[in-house]
Structure 1
């Protein structure tokens, strides 16, 4: 089935204004990222959505597979390369890998990122690749050569478990240890532009638009800050607190937050933080993905579609009952993976499976609270859908 889309003539280096007719005719209501995966869950909004004309309609075929020697992170896919970190096979720390997207060969030699534990995370933007380890060492690399551009040890905190996000020339991230801190770092120089105190700073990759930086911690303590000044915009308080957090998702005017302290997942108004609605999901459910007002949620091994306003469930896909990944949406097709190593592509409107394959290893769930391995997740871009499967990174395309 063919996809048709038109792209507005105005776009910047990160987002393009796009109208996409999906396999079912649903139309996005927000800008969609095109062609690259730049952070966890594809983009700065973490909505899991990508448009890429080079990724044809499934079925896809395997282009290459790499064993990276340890549990693999979510991939960054940009500039003809695929970047990922993997847990070091020799003890604490992680290793940064740069892979030629066309061949699967090394684009440059792996780099030891060091750090306590085996956690690290990546972001991309402004012509640079950013890597952050558990100790708060944030480094910018030349993505073509692997040369280090700058490195900074973020101040005041010692535990860093929030993947960085690039937007508008700034890298945003969080740190914890003594309270919590949200950081804004100049992407060109590594200078810290501003910091703000937050509930604890754990496990919440900042979601960013031109109007706000959003983070969410235990008990759904959720904050919005001005991206340029760091001034608070609103704080959604719930009367409790604690360690931990989860990455928020921005979609259809809402901040979609999840909690591991027994609270029902909520949708907050992006403008004022007030509760717009709630939806059912168990503790540990991964981040949802969105294609316009179609939302895709994985919970207890099952994928289901919900309307972003009514929250009605219109279809479910059980697969093998062990669906584990956060979903992503590429050109209107939803991709999810399973603990059994199965990868599916589904029609986003109907839930019909249009293709599946055996990746060859378990596709682990994104464990947002585990510092013994990098945060994992699916990625896409440059004509590929890229799957971290335990120690392997596997690429599919036409």
Structure 2
């Protein structure tokens, strides 16, 4: 019951943020979306997008300079000479990554941008809560749009020929990248809020659903290779590494799962709800938890260290060389840089 409540609270937080685009008061129900190009850390959080120096945590710019009604949630996406980020006022922005100056906007969507876009070659793929996946050129012009049955909260993935989009309508769609035509769709039996994980070489899509299922799907025809159900709720994206999927559940168990058949390789109890996608390095995997902890383990499940922050973690840390950028929700600080063993390096403090 407790774990179910945590999941429902998380979904309620998202719903509360969505109301801001309908004239409701601004809410604190958001968490930072973090990305990096190595030199800068880009953070979308609350009413701003920030560019921050990775070396020392100093601010390069923020957009907009003065807070307005728009709110930001999903991690910005860097694509060549532009930074793409959507807001809760139905606008997708292209910013200059060096200055934060707005280059163009896309305003044809009818709802909020909850998921990050994906850039494949010269095509921007932008999923919106209005049920549509929009394909745009690099200058923001519409190429095609594809309609699903419910809101899109998950970033799509692509093998360069097809786009795979999960939806809140309980389906996954395979769509031709160039034409926007559907190849297949599959009812997965539950809503999908996190992006699938694609193994393009093996032609397999891995995803978790709110019905507590982990599924492996053949990208050629949408057939199910294998699936398994968990006792704990799944609010996570599996991390793929060397024939294994690393993930956790809301009952506080973390897993290494074989990609061949879904069998458990190992499990460990961490006694904290695991949310978001784990971060995998060469010799370790780092799990984020809802109570604000990072838990580092070897790839064989032995605990190395843990670190608790003031706030909650809904996404895994972003690796920047030998450091980890951590986005924190609901605390006094929303971005920290730590070492690979969890020690503080700097904390970002936005100017007033």
TM-score range, shorter chain: 0.7 to 0.9
Cα displacement string for residues 126-168 of structure 1 (whole angstroms, at most 9, x for unaligned residues)? 232111012331111111121222112134x224323211221
Residues 326 and 277 of structure 1: is their aligned pair in 2 closer, same or farther, counting only changes over 3 Å? same
* Alignment partner of 1:164 is 2:106: no
Higher helix share: 2
Q: Give the aligned partner of residue 101 of structure 2.
A: 147
SS of the aligned residue for 2:301 comes to coil
SS of the aligned residue for 2:127 comes to strand
SS of the aligned residue for 1:75 comes to strand
- Partner of residue 247 from structure 1, selected from 174, 183, 195: 195
Q: Give the aligned partner of residue 162 of structure 2.
A: 212
Residues 353 and 264 of structure 1: is their aligned pair in 2 closer, same or farther, counting only changes over 3 Å? closer
- Partner of residue 396 from structure 1, selected from 300, 316, 338: 338
Q: Give the aligned partner of residue 173 of structure 1.
A: 126
Q: Give the aligned partner of residue 265 of structure 2.
A: 314
- Partner of residue 364 from structure 1, selected from 301, 307, 313: 313
Cα displacement string for residues 277-297 of structure 1 (whole angstroms, at most 9, x for unaligned residues)? 112234442111111311101
Q: Give the aligned partner of residue 215 of structure 2.
A: 266
- Partner of residue 289 from structure 1, selected from 239, 242, 247: 239
TM-score, structure 2 normalization: 0.78
Q: CA deviation at 1:384?
A: 2.3
Question: Distance in 1 between the 2:111 and 2:45 partners?
Answer: 21
Cα displacement string for residues 27-74 of structure 1 (whole angstroms, at most 9, x for unaligned residues)? xxxxxxxxxxxxxxxxxxxxxxxxxxxxxxxxxxxxxxxxxx985423
Q: CA deviation at 1:388?
A: 1.3
* Alignment partner of 1:201 is 2:143: no
Residues 356 and 377 of structure 1: is their aligned pair in 2 closer, same or farther, counting only changes over 3 Å? closer
Question: Distance in 2 between the 1:206 and 1:71 partners?
Answer: 21
Question: Distance in 2 between the 1:305 and 1:216 partners?
Answer: 23
Question: Distance in 2 between the 1:144 and 1:191 partners?
Answer: 23
> Number of residues paired by the alignment?
305
Higher strand share: 1
Q: Give the aligned partner of residue 80 of structure 1.
A: 39
- The answer as to whether partners of 2:34 and 2:75 remain within 8 angstroms in 1 is no
Q: Give the aligned partner of residue 221 of structure 1.
A: 171
- The answer as to whether partners of 1:113 and 1:133 remain within 8 angstroms in 2 is no
- The answer as to whether partners of 2:112 and 2:128 remain within 8 angstroms in 1 is yes
Q: Give the aligned partner of residue 185 of structure 1.
A: 136
Q: CA deviation at 1:214?
A: 0.7
* Alignment partner of 1:347 is 2:298: yes
Q: Give the aligned partner of residue 233 of structure 1.
A: 183
Q: CA deviation at 1:321?
A: 3.4
**Please, what is the CA RMSD of the aligned residues?**
2.6
Q: CA deviation at 1:317?
A: 2.5
Question: Distance in 2 between the 1:290 and 1:245 partners?
Answer: 18
- The answer as to whether partners of 1:73 and 1:377 remain within 8 angstroms in 2 is no
Question: Distance in 2 between the 1:317 and 1:159 partners?
Answer: 37
Q: CA deviation at 1:185?
A: 1.2
Q: Give the aligned partner of residue 20 of structure 1.
A: none
Deviates more, 1:251-260 or 1:141-150: 251-260
Cα displacement string for residues 214-263 of structure 1 (whole angstroms, at most 9, x for unaligned residues)? 1112353110111122222211146x89x874422213432123333x37
- The answer as to whether partners of 2:31 and 2:327 remain within 8 angstroms in 1 is yes
Q: CA deviation at 1:273?
A: 0.7
Question: Distance in 2 between the 1:163 and 1:113 partners?
Answer: 21
**Relative contact order higher in (CA < 8 Å, ≥ 6 apart):** 1
Q: Give the aligned partner of residue 346 of structure 2.
A: none
Kindly report which structure 2 residues correspond to 1:61-100, keeping only aligned pairs within 5 A, or say none.
71-87=30-46, 94-100=47-53
Q: CA deviation at 1:183?
A: 0.6
Q: Give the aligned partner of residue 129 of structure 1.
A: 83
Question: Distance in 2 between the 1:320 and 1:292 partners?
Answer: 26
Residues 263 and 338 of structure 1: is their aligned pair in 2 closer, same or farther, counting only changes over 3 Å? closer
Residues 122 and 115 of structure 1: is their aligned pair in 2 closer, same or farther, counting only changes over 3 Å? farther
Question: Distance in 1 between the 2:158 and 2:68 partners?
Answer: 28
